[in-house]
A and B are shown apart, each in its own frame.
Chain A
Amino acid sequence: MEFYLFGELIVLPTDVVAAWVSVILGTPIVLYWLTKKRHWPVIWDYATSTNHRKIGTLYIIFAILFFFRAGIDALFIRLQLVTPENQFWVFQGDKYNEIFTTHGTMMIFFVAMPLLIGLMNVAVPLQIGANDLAFPFLNAIGFYLFLTGGMIFFAAFFFNAAPNAGWTAYAPLSTYEFTGGPNNNYYIFGLQISGLGTIFAAINMIVTILRLRAPGLKLTRMPLFPWASLITSFLILVAFPVLAIALLLLQFDRLYGATFFVGELGHPVYWQHLFWIFGHPEVYILALPAFGIFSDIISAFSRKNVFGYTSMVIALALIGMLGFMVWAHHMFTVGLGPFANTFFAITTMMIAVPTGVKVFNWLFTMRRGVIRIKTPMLFALGFIPTFVMGGVTGVMLASAAADMQYHDTYFVVAHFHYVIIGSTVLGAFAGLYYWYPKMTGKMLDEKLGKWHFWLFLIGFHLTFFPQHLAGLNGMPRRVYDYTWEDGVFVYNFISTIGAFMMGASMLFVIWNVYKTHRPKKENVGADPWDGRTLEWYVPSPAPEHPFEKMPIIDRRDALWWAKQEGKPLPVAEHHRASPVSIRTVQPFVLSVALTIMSFGFIYGWLWMQIIGGAASLGFFVLRAFNDERTAVYRKEEQDNEQ
């Protein structure tokens, strides 16, 4: 579509027009509905809260919204690839490059990460007997930074400037010379801002887990989800600053003509090293929390303690550590030479050992147990074979010389969808069904949950299994077209059918949530699943300051043993100074300032950069002189003295 605005010719592809039309039509309807149902007080309550459960819920809600957006990208990709020489809508050439870039980037940074951080927010403080995260205000900031980054990235498409250099944004393609325009600036600022939020969340999680555990809850008595969160947070703390540096260098290359990744002095491979030194630990940042969730769920629904607890913790730590030593296995074809290639091949294979230990420990947790097949457990059961299939193709890919055949083909696409969907997405769904009562007080419907699971899992395998074969038959990734002679039509066709099954399964999630909240049902009790860990000790939904009196923990799964012996958990006499939840609009203000600054940089408008930058800096200065916790801490200390 072409038209003149203020004398300038504007060309808009029809998909962007369609998006604008649906937003313009949809917004008033949503606003009317919210007003009519009187939801505004609830929204205001969540938007200004610093309570961990509410912030966690917000993370999850926005992650799922972005999930639908990135999922629709995926369906468009599959429609374009359904037959050879296909012309679906506008998705050829650059348009196709834009949707696979936004699909990948959003799924990783604005779906998988916030889903897991959201679940950590909800569950970790409750599992360790903390009243909130150590820094509730910082937590709210972290959430708003994620939302700001996500929204900036999301907005790119509406201005017909979606990033188009792949989620890996390899230089020199991502430099100004080859992809001019604002497109990839959106990528830089979207990730930079949300990445900062992720770092804050990690710091918060580390301090909370190290400092705020209930009395007697030694690290060696902690459930595995907090353990996984702790190790993941350390990974974030090391990996995300590397991404921040890489993005900053790329920003200088793009905006100010620096030559870090091009020219005589720079080198395009520097980007790949920086990106993958971040990027590979990122894979474990996504997988480890899911491992933690599955460990807790498999144990709870087998009515048994985790088999080999110590080796489970050691395996988590080993995977995290080895995760930093394998980045160049993404670069076997760059020509680093056989020494580097075999070194990274061997370190990569080593990761299979602790991962295998975990798989067998999960299996043996179920052995001699009583396996209750509820929706969360169903997702955990689906996870084991799916993830193992992704894991073994990972070992195949680690074999450096063979990887030269697999590299950048659909075989790799199949592999990483198997591991990321197999662990992170199934894990997040399992966690969502498991902790939904703790978040809202209601149980999600079992029958619809099972529909969701089976459609999703079968659709998933239909989509991604054939892609292994397409890759082995020579189909490179990131192509919008292939020919009949390529012999990959059948694989692609089946893949598209599977993708729509996965899409359909997500409709059951919407229906399920709607059905669960439709009649005003009573809240379920504190412990609807007959759980083992401390979150099932507090009411559902978890109130603010759930542990007025701290429970005393004398062993692993203390709640379970207390229930077995028919005695309540012993509690400490004094309550301890706890993080304080406040109402604040400050994070929202920072969010607006950063959005202004980012758009200033994305479009190169200096005045806007100055206004937004000054506002953000001013915010930090003002904040440095404010601490609303002082009064409350003083009061609690006085209470303890009396």
Chain B
Amino acid sequence: MKILVLLSFLFILSGCNLRVLDPKTQTASDQAFLIYLSFGIMMFVVLVVALLFIAFTVKYRETEKNRHDVPKHEEGNRTLEIIWTVLPIILLIGLAVPTVMITYDVSYIGASSDDNAVHVNVTGEQFRWTFEYENGKETHKKLVLPEDREVIFHLTSKDVIHSFWVPKLAGKIDVLPGEENRLKVTPEETGTYQGKCAEYCGTLHADMRFEAEVMEQEEFQAWLNEE
């Protein structure tokens, strides 16, 4: 049991650099905030249950002394029932409100607010990605993005369903055949981030990876214009 406790500590410490919790855009930070918030609320619930569980199993365990006791009949308790119905409802409202707000925030609705936005057409197919920029430049393994500038992805698939995911930039969005999904992010830090297909799409699903490289704006322009 001690090893388990120790291990779980190690895990919590390693939590600091888990990709999903290391956001590089506002979208991903919002999502990370929701993760922390829900985790906090839920740990409170786990704690309460764990304390009651330990207290009751230790205290009311069968012993030599109480072996032949017959516990008193107990129908229930209205006050307690109300407490454990209402309290969770309050906790859940505390989670539901930010969930609704952030879900609207991270969803792409209507036109872009920024005329200067970079548009990238993303096409998924078994088993590679194609990133096409407005000037016709195409890449496969590497997605290059400018820092501090809005990027709008137009995603569609040539065959089965894929899912576009760069954990540090945003949550995933499915890439469907015959339909265009959109995703909007503004990268805030230069660096190279892992990207993956997150919807099982066939034989080489595991290999359908790419790298997202965020560069400074001038560098990005230069890259975009080079042959």
Q: In this complex, what residue of A is CB-closest to B44? A: A392
In the complex, which residues of chain B have a beta carbon less than 8 angstroms from the beta carbon of A352? 88, 92
Q: How far is the CA of A458 from the CA of B7 in the complex (A)?
A: 13
Check B203 against A97 for contact (C-beta < 8 Å): yes
Residue total for A at the interface (Cβ-Cβ under 8 A):
94
Nearest-Cβ distance from residue B144 to partner chain A, whole angstroms? 19
In the complex, which residues of chain B have a beta carbon less than 8 angstroms from the beta carbon of A485? 194
In the complex, which residues of chain B have a beta carbon less than 8 angstroms from the beta carbon of A388? 45-46, 49
Check B198 against A409 for contact (C-beta < 8 Å): yes
In the complex, which residues of chain A have a beta carbon less than 8 angstroms from the beta carbon of B103? 338, 341-342, 345, 400-401
Check B61 against A342 for contact (C-beta < 8 Å): no
Task: Please provide the chain A residues from 352 to 403 with a CB less than 8 Å away from any CB of chain B in the complex.
Answer: 352-353, 356-357, 359-361, 363-364, 366-373, 381, 384-385, 388-389, 392-393, 395-396, 398-403
A-binding segment of B72-80, B134-142, B214-222: B72-80
Q: How far is the CA of A333 from the CA of B109 in the complex (A)?
A: 15
Q: How far is the CA of A402 from the CA of B56 in the complex (A)?
A: 35
In the complex, which residues of chain A have a beta carbon less than 8 angstroms from the beta carbon of B174? 333-335
Check A465 against B60 for contact (C-beta < 8 Å): no
B-binding segment of A165-173, A197-205, A224-232: A165-173
Q: How far is the CA of A409 from the CA of B172 in the complex (A)?
A: 10
Check B81 against A363 for contact (C-beta < 8 Å): no
Nearest-Cβ distance from residue A450 to partner chain B, whole angstroms? 15
B168-196 Cβ-contact flags toward A at 8 Å (1 or 0): 00111110111101000000000000101
Asked if A93 is at the interface (CB within 8 A of a chain B CB), the reply is yes
Nearest-Cβ distance from residue B191 to partner chain A, whole angstroms? 14
Check A308 against B81 for contact (C-beta < 8 Å): yes
Nearest-Cβ distance from residue A589 to partner chain B, whole angstroms? 39
Q: In this complex, what residue of B is CB-closest to A269? A: B176
Do A392 and B8 form a contact, CB below 8 Å, given A345-B99, A366-B57, A370-B62? no
Q: In this complex, what residue of B is CB-closest to A381? A: B57
B95-128 Cβ-contact flags toward A at 8 Å (1 or 0): 1100110111111010000000000000000100
Q: How far is the CA of A364 from the CA of B59 in the complex (A)?
A: 12
Asked if A577 is at the interface (CB within 8 A of a chain B CB), the reply is no
Q: In this complex, what residue of B is CB-closest to A468? A: B11
In the complex, which residues of chain B have a beta carbon less than 8 angstroms from the beta carbon of A402? 31, 34-35, 38, 99, 102, 171
Which of A367, A461, A476, A478 is the most central at the interface, judged by chain B CB atoms within 10 Å of its CB?
A476
Check A302 against B71 for contact (C-beta < 8 Å): yes
For the residues of A in contact with B, the DSSP-based class is helix
Q: How far is the CA of A190 from the CA of B100 in the complex (A)?
A: 40
In the complex, which residues of chain A have a beta carbon less than 8 angstroms from the beta carbon of B15? 469, 472
Q: In this complex, what residue of B is CB-closest to A355? A: B88
B156-173 Cβ-contact flags toward A at 8 Å (1 or 0): 000111010101001111
A504-535 Cβ-contact flags toward B at 8 Å (1 or 0): 00000000000000000000000000000000
Contact of B161 among A172, A304, A341, A400 (CB under 8 A): A172
Asked if A303 is at the interface (CB within 8 A of a chain B CB), the reply is yes
Check B176 against A477 for contact (C-beta < 8 Å): no
In the complex, which residues of chain A have a beta carbon less than 8 angstroms from the beta carbon of B200? 97, 166, 170, 173, 408, 477-478
Asked if A346 is at the interface (CB within 8 A of a chain B CB), the reply is yes
Do A366 and B56 form a contact, CB below 8 Å, given A385-B49, A404-B172? yes
In the complex, which residues of chain A have a beta carbon less than 8 angstroms from the beta carbon of B85? 353, 356-357
Q: How far is the CA of A528 from the CA of B173 in the complex (A)?
A: 56
Check A396 against B167 for contact (C-beta < 8 Å): no
Q: How far is the CA of A30 from the CA of B176 in the complex (A)?
A: 50
In the complex, which residues of chain A have a beta carbon less than 8 angstroms from the beta carbon of B61? 371, 373
Q: How far is the CA of A384 from the CA of B80 in the complex (A)?
A: 19
In the complex, which residues of chain A have a beta carbon less than 8 angstroms from the beta carbon of B69? 303, 370
Do A479 and B206 form a contact, CB below 8 Å, given A401-B102, A472-B20? yes
Check B18 against A404 for contact (C-beta < 8 Å): no
Nearest-Cβ distance from residue B96 to partner chain A, whole angstroms? 6
Check B171 against A333 for contact (C-beta < 8 Å): yes
In the complex, which residues of chain A have a beta carbon less than 8 angstroms from the beta carbon of B177? 172, 262, 268
In the complex, which residues of chain B have a beta carbon less than 8 angstroms from the beta carbon of A363? 49, 52-53, 56
Task: Please provide the chain A residues from 192 to 248 with a CB less than 8 Å away from any CB of chain B in the complex.
Answer: none
Q: In this complex, what residue of B is CB-closest to A393? A: B42
Q: How far is the CA of A267 from the CA of B174 in the complex (A)?
A: 14
Check A357 against B84 for contact (C-beta < 8 Å): yes
Check A474 against B20 for contact (C-beta < 8 Å): yes
Asked if B9 is at the interface (CB within 8 A of a chain A CB), the reply is no
Q: How far is the CA of A310 from the CA of B176 in the complex (A)?
A: 47
Nearest-Cβ distance from residue A346 to partner chain B, whole angstroms? 6
Check A338 against B109 for contact (C-beta < 8 Å): yes
In the complex, which residues of chain B have a beta carbon less than 8 angstroms from the beta carbon of A359? 49
A-B pairs with beta carbons under 8 A, tally:
263
Asked if B39 is at the interface (CB within 8 A of a chain A CB), the reply is yes
* Interface size bracket, B side: 35 or more
Which of B46, B67, B92, B201 is the most central at the interface, judged by chain A CB atoms within 10 Å of its CB?
B92
Which of B11, B70, B71, B85 is the most central at the interface, judged by chain A CB atoms within 10 Å of its CB?
B71
Check A367 against B34 for contact (C-beta < 8 Å): no
Asked if A7 is at the interface (CB within 8 A of a chain B CB), the reply is no
Do A401 and B31 form a contact, CB below 8 Å, given A345-B99, A371-B61, A465-B8? yes
Q: How far is the CA of A461 from the CA of B32 in the complex (A)?
A: 25
In the complex, which residues of chain B have a beta carbon less than 8 angstroms from the beta carbon of A640? none
Check B42 against A307 for contact (C-beta < 8 Å): no
Asked if A178 is at the interface (CB within 8 A of a chain B CB), the reply is yes
Check B11 against A466 for contact (C-beta < 8 Å): yes
Nearest-Cβ distance from residue B88 to partner chain A, whole angstroms? 5
In the complex, which residues of chain B have a beta carbon less than 8 angstroms from the beta carbon of A357? 81, 84-85
Check B76 against A307 for contact (C-beta < 8 Å): yes
In the complex, which residues of chain A have a beta carbon less than 8 angstroms from the beta carbon of B66? 370
Do A93 and B204 form a contact, CB below 8 Å, given A353-B89, A486-B194? yes
A618-642 Cβ-contact flags toward B at 8 Å (1 or 0): 0000000000000000000000000
Asked if A405 is at the interface (CB within 8 A of a chain B CB), the reply is yes
Which of B18, B56, B178 is the most central at the interface, judged by chain A CB atoms within 10 Å of its CB?
B56
Do A370 and B176 form a contact, CB below 8 Å, given A395-B42, A474-B19? no
Nearest-Cβ distance from residue B31 to partner chain A, whole angstroms? 5
Contact of A345 among B18, B96, B203 (CB under 8 A): B96
Check A392 against B171 for contact (C-beta < 8 Å): no
Which of B15, B35, B170 is the most central at the interface, judged by chain A CB atoms within 10 Å of its CB?
B35
Asked if B14 is at the interface (CB within 8 A of a chain A CB), the reply is yes
Asked if A27 is at the interface (CB within 8 A of a chain B CB), the reply is no
Asked if B30 is at the interface (CB within 8 A of a chain A CB), the reply is yes
In the complex, which residues of chain A have a beta carbon less than 8 angstroms from the beta carbon of B105? 401
Contact of B92 among A178, A307, A353, A373 (CB under 8 A): A353
Check A305 against B62 for contact (C-beta < 8 Å): no
Nearest-Cβ distance from residue B126 to partner chain A, whole angstroms? 8
A366-B57, A366-B60, A384-B53 known, 4 other contacts, Cβ within 8 Å: A308-B77, A363-B52, A389-B46, A476-B198
Cβ contacts A to B, 8 pairs, < 8 Å: A303-B70, A346-B99, A356-B45, A368-B72, A392-B46, A404-B171, A405-B32, A473-B20
Q: A-B pairs with the 9 shortest C-beta distances? A: A404-B171, A479-B206, A392-B42, A308-B76, A402-B34, A338-B107, A478-B200, A474-B19, A335-B181
